[in-house]
Amino acid sequence: MAISVAIVGSGPAGFYSAEALLKSGANVAIDIIDCLPTPYGLIRSGVAPDHAKTKNVARAYEKIALDERVRFFGNVEIGRDIAVSAMRDLYDVVVLAVGASRDRDLGIPGSELEGVVGVAGFVGWYNGHPDFRDLAPPLDTENVVVIGIGNVAVDVARVLTKTPAEMAGTDIADYASTVIFGSPIRAVHMAGRRGPLEARFTNVELREMGRLEDCAPIVDPKALPKEVTGEHSERDRRLIERNLATLREFVSIEPGKRSKRVHFDFFSNPVEILGNTNVEAVKFERTIVENGRAVGTGKFFEIPCGLVIPAIGYYSQAIEGVPFDERAGRAANKDGFIDDGFYCVGWIKRGPSGVIGSNKPDGTRAAELILESFPRGDKPGRRAFEALLAEKNIRAVSFADWQKIDAAEIANAGPGAPRRKFTRIADMLTVLEEG
């Protein structure tokens, strides 16, 4: 009998695991399960709406989903609708590919104030994720502080400052573009606790910030070192040099008529968020970097703002039945192995770092581990899973169903946009009832 495999999570890590198993030539029956009716995880709800090219990778995932050995079950949440332990009873192999959906805690006084909005929710909001469509971030403010200088921080700063024309060909949620374009935002401050040498953004993403129609990058030249110091691999050194060169170019950009600013505030460690009930400012301590670490100088300053978005990295949601490493915020695992017949890939395995392609080796490794364990193919898998769904009255969404939702989203798109996403699960299911 085929080895029954349940992959929980249909983002890149899930699909690359499926692909590696299919390519291995082993006799497998793979079920990819997602809590949303829509597949592709962060490709749909994490990648910025104006990065359409990045989303094209979904076409490769579609091919995998259409393989006759693969089935997609959307709208089923493992850990809520069906326990992890039940899945392990039903399938020879369970692979967790659920990513990291929570925000890392900023852990400074004032983090609980109204107007502090974690980036996981904020990105989900502008990307039309059903869990975050009602987030209502307070964008009736001129100043926004984004904490962190990684690629997610850059995504947020860019989406907040692009013009309607620049966002016209994107799939940003309508409600989000309405609020963003109607907001009085004049300045986005991206605050890094360390300096430009330690910034986590990549150069392509950084360079985009110098080409915005109505927004100028602001960099204090005094924050830029003359050369790259410290221990770095050759590759990292080249990347840092490119970033430094780009930041130097930013110094010489004349804002001209551009009405908005993105400030690169390096050496700024947030120590408190100020306000009574709502955020009014962020208090920072000026830092210097010693041996790669941010060290406080005892000098403090404040940036007034009405919205703070900590973009300081993600954290995986603990799931019952999955041993969890609280400190690292991911499943307790050894190179992807959790327990016999139980594996993990992607951010739940290694934490929230790396690009989409970084998930590919995870999938390859998981397939190797799985096949090295010689699973016998003696558990019922799909047949029993479908029976359980029926027993629990769960309306699972198949890949053919998703294709209908997809077609409806594309048909509903505004001029120039690739799609208009449904942002309520009920609306997605209505499409299926109608046709």
Q: For residues 11 and 270, which CB has a smaller minimum distance to ligand NAP in the complex? A: 270
- Range list of H helices, 118-233: 119-126, 151-161, 164-167, 174-182, 203-208
Closest contact distance (angstroms) between CB of 326 and ligand NAP is 17
Of 31, 39, 38, nearest to 10 by C-alpha is 39
d(CA 19, CA 66) in angstroms, rounded, equals 11
Q: For residues 120 and 185, which CB has a smaller minimum distance to ligand NAP in the complex? A: 120
Q: Does 306 bind ligand NAP (CB under 6 A)?
A: no
Q: Does 159 bind ligand NAP (CB under 6 A)?
A: no
Q: Does 50 bind ligand NAP (CB under 6 A)?
A: no
Q: Which amino acid is at 44?
A: R
Rounding to the nearest 10 degrees, give the CA dihedral for residues 286, 287, 288, 289.
Answer: -150
Q: What number of chain residues touch ligand NAP (CB under 6 A)?
A: 25
Closest contact distance (angstroms) between CB of 423 and ligand NAP is 21
Residue nearest to ligand NAP (CB): 150
Q: Does 153 bind ligand NAP (CB under 6 A)?
A: yes
CB atoms within 10 A of CB 213: 12
Q: Does 192 bind ligand NAP (CB under 6 A)?
A: yes
Q: Does 313 bind ligand NAP (CB under 6 A)?
A: yes
Q: For residues 173 and 294, which CB has a smaller minimum distance to ligand NAP in the complex? A: 294
Q: Does 200 bind ligand NAP (CB under 6 A)?
A: yes
Displacement of CA 47 from its chain's centroid (Å): 6
Q: Does 197 bind ligand NAP (CB under 6 A)?
A: no
Contact track, ligand NAP, 116-145, x by CB under 6 A: ------------------------------
d(CA 197, CA 258) in angstroms, rounded, equals 28
Q: Does 103 bind ligand NAP (CB under 6 A)?
A: no
Q: Which stretch binds ligand NAP (CB under 6 A): 61-69, 226-234, 318-326, 348-356?
A: 348-356
Please spell the DSSP secondary structure of 218-241, one letter per residue.
EE-GGGS-SS--S---HHHHHHHH
* Coil, strand or helix at 176: helix
Q: Does 150 bind ligand NAP (CB under 6 A)?
A: yes
Q: Among 88, 133, 194, 330, indicate the residue that binds ligand NAP (CB under 6 A).
A: 194
Quick one: angle between helices 12-23 and 359-372, nearest 10? 50
Q: Does 311 bind ligand NAP (CB under 6 A)?
A: yes
Strand 324-325 and strand 330-331: the pairing is: antiparallel
Contact 407/422 with Cβ under 8 angstroms? no
Q: Which stretch binds ligand NAP (CB under 6 A): 23-31, 83-91, 180-188, 309-317?
A: 309-317
User: Exposed (0-12), middle (13-18) or buried (19+): which is 32, by Cβ within 10 Å?
Assistant: buried
Q: Does 151 bind ligand NAP (CB under 6 A)?
A: yes
Residues 6+ apart with CB under 8 A from 342: 88, 93, 94, 96
d(CA 114, CA 334) in angstroms, rounded, equals 39
Closest contact distance (angstroms) between CB of 180 and ligand NAP is 18
Q: Does 288 bind ligand NAP (CB under 6 A)?
A: no
17 phi, psi to nearest 5 deg: -70, -45
Q: Among 174, 198, 241, 427, indicate the residue that binds ligand NAP (CB under 6 A).
A: 198
Q: Does 152 bind ligand NAP (CB under 6 A)?
A: yes
Q: Among 109, 255, 354, 357, indicate the residue that binds ligand NAP (CB under 6 A).
A: 354
Contact track, ligand NAP, 267-286, x by CB under 6 A: ---x----------------
Rounded to 5°, the CA angle 371-28-353 comes to: 65
Q: For residues 191 and 366, which CB has a smaller minimum distance to ligand NAP in the complex? A: 191
Q: Does 41 bind ligand NAP (CB under 6 A)?
A: no
CB atoms within 10 A of CB 309: 28
Q: For residues 186 and 283, which CB has a smaller minimum distance to ligand NAP in the complex? A: 283
The sign of the CA dihedral 236, 355, 325, 366 is: negative
Q: For residues 70 and 199, which CB has a smaller minimum distance to ligand NAP in the complex? A: 199
Contact track, ligand NAP, 166-185, x by CB under 6 A: --------------------
d(CA 97, CA 10) in angstroms, rounded, equals 7
Q: Does 205 bind ligand NAP (CB under 6 A)?
A: yes
**Which positions lie near ligand NAP, rule CB under 6 A?**
106, 147-153, 155, 192-194, 198, 200, 202, 205, 270, 311-314, 352-355
